[in-house]
Structure 1
Amino acid sequence: MQRKVTTVFSLVLLLGLTANGQQREAFIPFVNSTHAWVDSVFNTLSNRDKVAQLFLVRAHTDLGQRYIDSVAGVVEREQLGGIVLFQGGPVRHAQLINRYQRLSKVPLLVAFDGEWGLGMRLADSTISFPYQMALGAIQNEALIYQMGREIARDFKRLGMNINFAPVVDINNNPRNPVINFRSFGEDKYNVTRKGLAYMRGMMDEGIVVSLKHFPGHGDTDVDSHYDLPQLNFSAGRLDSLEMYPFRELIKAGASGVMIAHMNIPSLDKTRNLPSSLSKPIVTDILKGKLAFRGLAFTDAMDMRGVVKHFKNGEADVRAIIAGNDVLELSENSARAIDMVLQAIKQGRLSQQDIDGRVKKVLATKYWLGLNDVRPVELTNLYRDLNRPRAEALNQRLADASMTLLKGDSLIKAIDYTKHTAIIAIGTSGLTEFQNMLGWRFDNHMCYVLSPQATADDVAAVADELTKYSQIIVALHDSRSRPRSTLNYNATVRLFINELAVKNSVFCLFANPYSLAGLPGIEQAKSLLICYQNEPIMQRAAAKVILRNLTPTGRLPVTVNAYFRYGDGT
């Protein structure tokens, strides 16, 4: 299972193609070279304008026109380096990008958290690819590379140029509240292979990526959005495990790395200092030891993990001193710029430090083709962002993630003429999975139980099951994110335990970690892991039950003693 990363993707080039079909120069040497356009723009900037190029401001299109106008005012007044887009709609986003680009003297970087594509923020009208936990199960990295390319095409079509992805944190803590299903899993080699494929797909299509969250957020039980996590691991452990994917992907030419807000005493003993504000971590380790020469991004500078102990703009100054190139979402960018200028006067920073980073940001814009920025075309935008080719790839990814932990012989023995009960637990209505199976079984009945079903509801279904010789059970997590524990009450859990000892086929449309909270599920005769509740996963599972798909996925995490990393028939 632990193949060397360097052998995985020899067929993929780091050199992409520009819009006119010409070969694009590799990012790292490009942004560390001199360019006439960069120098010409740089020479027009005041010292304040230079510092402003290092900041990205938050932008939404779902918070009303007043909010959009207020951010427009910030963009125009402060002339910042770029924006980070959040929730809204594709057409509104495109209109906003066009407006903000017109207001900026230097073209804007436009960033977005698209770990599973545009659907991460624009869920109602764009494609959501599988979460990285599901991708971690896939044994064909070429599919993930193609996903990276499709996501990058969506970004470019919408006028965006930086994706804060992939997540290359190694999730070896099932209780992790913030990474978890966003990780490719617990094995550093598997995480690195998947991250490499995803990264190369995006970079080959000409957008900037940002590996996250350096030096590794996978073994924490605190969400840095709300507090400051502490990693009490040795420097040796961090170097050999958490930093491994970052090291390998930096060698492969990663264009960006995002630094997390975590306190790590073994790397910097400063009390309550987040890693994002630590010069030993950002400059000495990331840029020195790992020789990273791309863009170093901070995680959001309005998160409690960074501002809890460094208030009123001090976090922004320290982030620049630490060696970060771009600061994401300062609480107050105007104040931060003033404080950075003051820090230069005080000798805490040098103008030379700032100038070098500004030229790297401008070179990034030049590499992205922003020297010739053009308005986003609104015509056919929805159609272009929902391409049949991308939809087909999405289903192929779901198909490839299906992980059969046990019971291949039971699935092969399913008889479509027998009386069959198809039960959906954890949902409120008939599912795509039940509908797909229904047409194939001659004598079947579908049942639905909510996660909080009463004892009477459960008893009624249990009584009905005596009529059936085959039982197919689908366990769903209908919440927006697949958590490590299901929200089922004790009555429903007991019923699942009773079903497990029967000759039942189980399909889990939920986080694989949730198996640990279902005592007795290990007794199930057949268990298919489907990772999440989306229709693509339900269609893939139905194909397996109907014997139209052979599951090839492997479990990317260890759940407990019964279900371990790498399991799968």
Structure 2
Amino acid sequence: MQLIKNVFCTVISTICLATLTASAQRPNIITTLTEQNRWVDSVYNKLSKKERIGQLFYVRAHTNKGRAYEDSVGRVIAEEHVGGLVFFQGGPVRHANLINNYQKLSRVPLLIAMDGEWGLGMRLDSSFSFPYQMTLGAIQDNNLIYKMGQMVAYDFRRLGMHINFAPDMDVNNNPNNPVINYRSFGDNKYNVAQKGIAYFKGMQDGGVITFAKHFPGHGDTNVDSHFDLPQLPFSRERLDSLEMYPFRQAINAGIGGVMIAHLNIPSLDTTKKLPSTLSREIVTNILKDSLGFKGIVASDAMEMKGVTKNFPNGDADVRAFIAGNDLLELSENSVVAARLIKKAIRQKKISKEEFEAKIKKLLAAKYWAGLNNYKPVNPAGLIADINRPASAELMQQLSDAAITLLKGDSRTLRHNPLMKTAIVSIGVNQPTTFQKELSKWYPNGMIFMVDKNASVPTLNRMLSTLKGFDQVYVAIHDTRTRPQSKLDYSVDVKLLVAELAAKPNSVVSVFANPYAIAGLPGIEKSGALLECYQKDDALQRAAVKVITGQQKPIGKLPVSVNVFFTTGQSVTSL
């Protein structure tokens, strides 16, 4: 049985490798989008005006909302002739089967999209997640990130999907950013550009259309555009040299798509309360003309309050269309919006030539994705394919390369294995992978767990017990699905961290957003400090490898945390 399993895994890996190698030979996407194409012309000429307008719209789809919801999306496909779908939560097999069903309803094959910044696991159950972009920002070998892009592309194509609304190429220079944050590669524009290019090239070479987001840059905001309209109050010079830099580099490197943010930017467009999505100055004059972008311009979700608050009832969609967006994502009301766009075309608010170019560009994207020769997805073996051993191996490689030593050396990291050792995990209520792995190296070790809201008497009892230990390893865990800049620990538990860090022979590992370090005063007093970025088991194993001398820490901090720990910091000479 084990032999059969090994053979199966080898076959899957071989197929995957062959697929990735073959996909690297794909034609340049920008060339495909801009050259005349007989298939595109043929399809365009057969479409009615309503069907052509429908190609602009990409509507929401789920497989966790029940049959009635799924059927309602099917009716939208059949009646509105939309260009594509954006899939959200659900399961991979259900997604594949539903995509097959939806494709049968469409006269022109649908482009299927998803936000998968760290892979399918960002949206789907039973599927694989790679590291967040902030974690990737610490890695010095961009080839690993390229390989991750290829892996993500394989997973997308395996499910019948063609677009990943990724990578996030915002420069996150605001630690309190509520919506970008750990989704960014960091606060260094050069690092963001290099990592973003490596990631998108891996995906595009794997046959997936990628979108750099959120132009012209959502990294220095303290408002979530899902709920309100953020403002960027910076000069054109600042935006051009900092926020736009990664996008300019991505465009020069051949990215196929750019997504526009919902931001009010007075230095670029003086119209009051106007989101950048609806600004022709920003979308057409700057992005398309000044930066020379010839790919697909997509709006951010048109149902977000950042755009609908001041432009309701389809007004936002028609303005986004006129501004220069090619793809309208998640319209609040696509029926009304399509009617308003048809009226705008009739009133010559956009030229016939520009409208035709938009639709042909979207059809050309379908051609590049292979939809001129559409084949349904085979769901057999899908779960095994998207959870293959090669993905786990790459995840461990990425994790090993990300671990960042902010303070300490081999002497302060690795203590005498025969000494009495406390191994403490904070923010959890059961033993962690970190504790289990580290315990193998310290036979005289004892595991302690501290709930994030532990009572003062409980904390005092533990501190009293720890007086009998010679050394202490402390792990800080953020177990939330989305790791924010501040830990949700009680004040007393944060004080405990400071006390533990001040102990002789203390080593602290932070499995949390690096910004969280700033909210733990006293942590800098530890004998050694490792930033490990997120809660995943692979990163916990990687930290143990560094502590025990199995590997060197080679990651570098991708953001500035405070005066003690700044961008690019690391201790690598062990």
TM-score (norm 2): 0.95
| Equivalent position amino acid for 2:410 in 1 | S
Could you tell me how far apart the structure 1 residues matched to 2:468 and 2:279 are?
65
Matched, 1:482 2:483: yes
Percent identity, aligned pairs only, is 55
Could you tell me how far apart the structure 1 residues matched to 2:412 and 2:112 are?
48
Q: 1:21 to 1:255 in 2, by over 3 A?
A: closer
Shift, 1:128, TM fit: 0.6
Aligned to 2:57: 55
Q: How does 1:18-167 map to 2 (within 5 A)?
A: 23-122=25-124, 124-167=125-168
Q: 1:41 to 1:17 in 2, by over 3 A?
A: farther
Could you tell me how far apart the structure 2 residues matched to 1:443 and 1:468 are?
10
Which digits, 9 at most, give the CA deviation of each residue in 1:351-410, with x for residues without a partner?
A: 322111000000110011101111110100000001111110011001100000011134
Aligned to 2:388: 387
Could you tell me how far apart the structure 1 residues matched to 2:95 and 2:234 are?
42
More off after superposition, 515-524 vs 232-241: 515-524
| Equivalent position amino acid for 2:533 in 1 | Y
Aligned to 1:332: 333
Q: 1:221 to 1:20 in 2, by over 3 A?
A: closer
Q: Is the 8 A contact 2:303 2:331 kept in 1?
A: yes
Q: Is the 8 A contact 1:59 1:83 kept in 2?
A: yes
| Equivalent position amino acid for 2:178 in 1 | P
Which digits, 9 at most, give the CA deviation of each residue in 1:472-493, with x for residues without a partner?
A: 0000111111110011111111
Could you tell me how far apart the structure 1 residues matched to 2:513 and 2:222 are?
17
Aligned to 2:516: 514
Could you tell me how far apart the structure 1 residues matched to 2:172 and 2:341 are?
36
Q: Is the 8 A contact 1:402 1:528 kept in 2?
A: yes
Shift, 1:412, TM fit: 4.8
Could you tell me how far apart the structure 1 residues matched to 2:97 and 2:526 are?
52
Q: How does 1:539-558 map to 2 (within 5 A)?
A: 539-558=541-560
Shift, 1:305, TM fit: 0.2
Q: Is the 8 A contact 1:170 1:184 kept in 2?
A: yes
| Equivalent position amino acid for 2:52 in 1 | K
Q: Is the 8 A contact 1:410 1:525 kept in 2?
A: no
RMSD across aligned positions (CA): 1.3
Could you tell me how far apart the structure 2 residues matched to 1:18 and 1:543 are?
30
Matched, 1:440 2:450: no
| Equivalent position amino acid for 1:119 in 2 | G
Q: Secondary structure at the match of 2:473?
A: strand
Q: Is the 8 A contact 1:17 1:204 kept in 2?
A: no
Q: Is the 8 A contact 2:20 2:205 kept in 1?
A: no
Could you tell me how far apart the structure 2 residues matched to 1:202 and 1:530 are?
26
Q: Secondary structure at the match of 1:467?
A: coil
Shift, 1:250, TM fit: 0.1
Matched, 1:371 2:366: no
Q: How does 1:275-354 map to 2 (within 5 A)?
A: 275-354=276-355
Q: 1:533 to 1:459 in 2, by over 3 A?
A: same
Q: Is the 8 A contact 2:170 2:213 kept in 1?
A: yes
Matched, 1:272 2:273: yes
| Equivalent position amino acid for 1:446 in 2 | I
**Which of 533, 539, 542 is the aligned partner of 1:537?**
539
Could you tell me how far apart the structure 1 residues matched to 2:412 and 2:496 are?
22
Q: 1:567 to 1:366 in 2, by over 3 A?
A: same
Q: Is the 8 A contact 2:546 2:552 kept in 1?
A: yes
Q: Is the 8 A contact 2:231 2:265 kept in 1?
A: yes
Shift, 1:548, TM fit: 1.2
Which digits, 9 at most, give the CA deviation of each residue in 1:196-234, with x for residues without a partner?
A: 100110111111000000000000000000000000000
Could you tell me how far apart the structure 1 residues matched to 2:354 and 2:23 are?
36
Q: Which runs of 5+ in 2 are unaligned?
A: 1-17
| Equivalent position amino acid for 2:443 in 1 | D
Could you tell me how far apart the structure 1 residues matched to 2:284 and 2:167 are?
22
Q: Secondary structure at the match of 2:545?
A: helix
Q: Which runs of 5+ in 1 are unaligned?
A: 1-15
Could you tell me how far apart the structure 2 residues matched to 1:294 and 1:125 are?
33
Aligned to 1:13: none
Could you tell me how far apart the structure 2 residues matched to 1:536 and 1:309 are?
45
Which digits, 9 at most, give the CA deviation of each residue in 1:494-531, with x for residues without a partner?
A: 11111121121000000010111111111111100000
Matched, 1:183 2:165: no
| Equivalent position amino acid for 1:306 in 2 | V
Which digits, 9 at most, give the CA deviation of each residue in 1:227-252, with x for residues without a partner?
A: 00000000000000000000011011
Could you tell me how far apart the structure 2 residues matched to 1:99 and 1:486 are?
43
Q: Secondary structure at the match of 1:184?
A: coil
Q: How many residues align?
A: 553
More off after superposition, 371-380 vs 489-498: 489-498
Aligned to 1:560: 562
Could you tell me how far apart the structure 2 residues matched to 1:170 and 1:179 are?
9
Could you tell me how far apart the structure 2 residues matched to 1:197 and 1:405 are?
26
Which digits, 9 at most, give the CA deviation of each residue in 1:124-145, with x for residues without a partner?
A: 3111100000000000000000
